[in-house]
Structures are given as C-alpha cells and as structure tokens.
Amino acid sequence: MDRIGVGLIGTGYMGKCHALAWNTVHPVFGDVPKPRLVHLAEASAPLAEKRADELGFEKATGDWRDLIDDPEIDVISITTPNKFHAEMAIVALEAGKHVWCEKPMAPSFAEAEAMAEAARQSGKVAMLGYNYIQNPMVRQIRKLLSEGAIGSVNHVRVEMDEDFMADPDAPFAARNERANGYGALDDFAVHPLSILQTLFGNMTRVLCDMDKPYADRPVDGGKRRAVENHDMASVLFHLHEGISGVLMVNRTAWGRKGRIALQIFGSKGSILYDQERMNEMQLYQAPGRPGEQGYRTILAGPQHPPYDRFIPAPGHGLGFNELKTIECRQLIGRMRSEDTLGIGFADGLEIERTVHAMARSFERGRWEVVA
C-alpha cells in the first residue's frame, strides 16, 4: 500500500473534521503512507468543488456514487446525515472500499445489522467515528483499569450533556422528529456507550427513563409543532462482570457545552474524567499514608501515547480535532492489519442494540435485557 486514496462524502461539522484528520495524519504520525485526497462528494457539484478546493481534494462531484466507482479510492469517509449511512456504507463495502463512517450507524437496527453484515462479508475495514475513545486520557484510564490501579470496578456513572437544544424558543428542527431517532439516545448516548464498551464491554440489562422538557417548538408562521422525541434520557444499567451504573444524557442542559463526565469506582480507588477538560483525568488510590490521599489531577503528556506524536512537552493540550487524527491513524492501522483501538461495525452494532433496548425499556417501563 503505497499511498491511500481517500474519498469523502459530506463536508459539514464531521466532514471537515475528517478532512483535517486526513490532512494531518501523515505529518503527525510519520509512520503511515501519506494519504492522497482523491475525491469529494457533496449535495451539489458546485458545492463539492468549493469544498474540494478548501479541503485539498483533487476531484469533486455532486453524486456520491462517483466515489464508489473511482478506482483511485481505497477508503471512503461517510459524514452525511445518519439516514444515508447504511446505503452508502453497504455500497462502498460491496465495491471493495474500506469505510470510515460517522456515528451512529443508522436510525433502525435492521439497517445497522445490514451494515455490520456487509462489513463482515466484505473483509474490508469498517470503522465508526467514535472519536472520544481515542483521547489519550481515555486510553490512560483503560491502561490503569487493566493494571488494576483501582482494583475491581463495581460502579460507573457517566453523563453527556450539552445545551444546543436548551432554548425553549429555538425553532423546531429535524432533530426533533421521531424519524431521526429517539433524540438524546441516538445523539448522545452512543458516545458514552462507546467509552463504556472500550473500558468494560457491553451492557446486559437496562432501565431507561426519557423526558422532553419542551412539548412543542416554534415553526414558521407563528405556530408551534409538537416535539416528537426526547431530549433527555436517564438509564440504570448493568455491565458484564457485575458492574452497575447510571447513564445520563441531556441535550437541553444549559451551561454544559461538551461534557462527558465519567466516574468509575473500584475496590481500591476511583477515576474521574470530563471531556470539557479533555486533557485531564483524576485518579484516587486508596492505599497510601493516612491524611495524604486525594484525587490526583493528571495532565495529558507524552507518557500518554499518542500525545507524544503531537507535542513533546506535557500539559500543553490536544484539541477535539486531534482525536479524529488519532482515529484516522487507527483506521489506517487496521487497513494494514495492525491491532488498533477503534469501534468497527460489529462492535458498533452492540452499541445500537443497547440503544434500542433502552428505548424499548422506556416504552415498557421495565428492565430490558440487551442481548
């Protein structure tokens, strides 16, 4: 594999993020072939051309299928709205392309299953955009847990909160439609689930409550339209190995901007983490001199790979976008048969399965078994 031919579908929030990752993965890591940014697809040809110029792609098209047919492309980034993921990913995989698809997989579980099946049959790399697990601090937590730094884990709490839908007078949006999913579960819960899966594996049973703080939202013409899904979800859960926990997500949480707060309790200590301060984590270890124990605030540094590939000095801080660059390196690693950290379609399907179990639990008002 001399160079990697890259295709990109979509250039919104995540599309640009993928493009930046493809632009930087080689100079940052130095141990992977330089990607060739071959072909970019957008909703229209003129927009595609504009973006291709900005983001450094050679060719542009208004029809994403042109990327499928492009023999110069090895891997396709899919960053379109969720409802398009399944078709694009399946077609791409069937055409022998590797796929890097943004989360979540698809609105329906059946589609997600089809994606996972297509990936399995293709033998190609199919990875999902769960970038938060790539944070060197999350990896450090994983290392600490595996070394028994806090003993045997028995309880976990995780919260994901933002406030982009907190204003009751914000207009009704696509996000508020049932067709676009359950609400906070699809939007947010999958991220904490990706972290939990990376650290502990999957959930076995869940009990979910959901809520919508605002029953309706303004639409054009001075009227209001009923909100169709839920901006908050709170979930009691059990993981394999006897770990209990609580998952809380809220996209109407005024004041929170990018919070993913994790609390992990074990028999010998505990660990705290908050994505809003993504270059820190906190470690409490019970053994020690009396009166000198406390949470240690560890700042990210070169001892937490691959931070060292970005900056040689500790405490200087990575940014959100750089997590995607790390993810891109993992993807390339998989394309080269390295054993890297990432959530492929098979693992992603378990996340989807869990989300649907949560929704079912809410409807039925009772515990649901996930598997």
Interactions with a copy of itself, residue window 178-207 (CB under 8 A)? 207
The conformation of residue 159, written as its DSSP 8-state character, comes to E
CA distance 308 to 302: 4
Distances (CA, A) of 58 to 4, 18, 279, 341: 13, 16, 35, 30
191: helix, coil or strand?
A: helix
Q: Among residues 72, 87, 113, 209, which is the contact residue for a copy of itself, using CB under 8 A? A: 209
Between 84 and 367, CB nearer to a copy of itself: 367
54 binds a copy of itself (CB under 8 A): yes
Separation between Cα atoms, residue 339 and residue 37, nearest integer Å = 25
3-state class (DSSP) for residue 314: coil
Binds a copy of itself (CB under 8 A): choice among 8, 40, 48, 55: 55
CB atoms within 10 A of CB 317: 16
The reply to whether 134 sits near a copy of itself by the rule CB under 8 A is no
Closest contact distance (angstroms) between CB of 235 and a copy of itself is 8
Give the H/E segment covering residue 114. helix 109-122
234 is a site residue for a copy of itself (CB under 8 A) = yes
CB of 334 to a copy of itself, least distance (A): 21
252 binds a copy of itself (CB under 8 A): yes
Query: Looking at beta carbons only, is 74 or 231 nearer to a copy of itself?
Result: 231
Alpha helices in 184-291 (DSSP H): 184, 190-200
Among 176, 310, 340, 342, binds a copy of itself (CB under 8 A): 310
What contacts 354, CB < 8 A, 6 or more positions away?
193, 202, 203, 206, 370
Task: Tell me the site size for a copy of itself, rule CB under 8 A.
Answer: 95
Does residue 336 belong to the site contacting a copy of itself (CB under 8 A)? no
27 binds a copy of itself (CB under 8 A): yes
Q: Examine residue 19 and tell whether it contacts a copy of itself (CB under 8 A).
A: yes
Applying CB under 8 A, does 353 fall inside the site for a copy of itself?
no
- Element at 318 (helix H, strand E): none
The answer to the question of residue 321 lying near a copy of itself (CB under 8 A) is yes
The residue range among 38-46, 48-56, 97-105, 337-345 that interacts with a copy of itself, by the rule CB under 8 A, is 48-56
Nearer to a copy of itself, 45 or 170 (CB): 170
96 binds a copy of itself (CB under 8 A): no
Q: Is 31 exposed, middle or buried (0-12, 13-18, 19+ CB in 10 A)?
A: exposed
Q: Which stretch binds a copy of itself (CB under 8 A): 23-31, 38-46, 79-87, 344-352?
A: 23-31
> How far is the C-alpha of 133 from the C-alpha of 55, rounded, in Å?
25
* 47 lies in the binding site for a copy of itself (CB under 8 A): no
* Options 27-35, 60-68, 176-184, 185-193: segment touching a copy of itself (CB under 8 A): 27-35
Total number of residues shown for the chain: 371
Rounded-to-integer distance, Cα 278 and Cα 313, Å: 16
Nearer to a copy of itself, 199 or 281 (CB): 281
- Is 42 among the residues that bind a copy of itself (CB under 8 A)? no
Tell me the two tokens of residue 264: 């992990």
Tell whether residue 84 is a contact of a copy of itself (CB under 8 A). Answer: no
Choose one: 73-81, 120-128, 155-163, 217-225; the region binding a copy of itself (CB under 8 A): 155-163
Give the nearest distance from C-beta 198 to a copy of itself in angstroms: 18
SS3 (DSSP) at 132: helix
Shortest Cβ 110–a copy of itself spacing (Å): 29
Q: How far is Cα 212 from Cα 250, in angstroms, rounded to an integer?
A: 10
* Single residue of 30, 123, 221, 222 touching a copy of itself by CB under 8 A: 30
What is the three-state SS of 140-186? HHHHHHHCCCCCCEEEEEEEEECCCCCCCCCCCCHHHCHHHCCEHHH
What is the per-residue binding string for a copy of itself in 273-302, x denoting contact by CB under 8 A? ---xxxx--xxx-x---xxxxxxxxxx-x-
What lies within 8 Å, CB to CB, of 222 at 6+ separation is: none
Q: 208: number of CA atoms within 13 Å, CB side?
A: 28
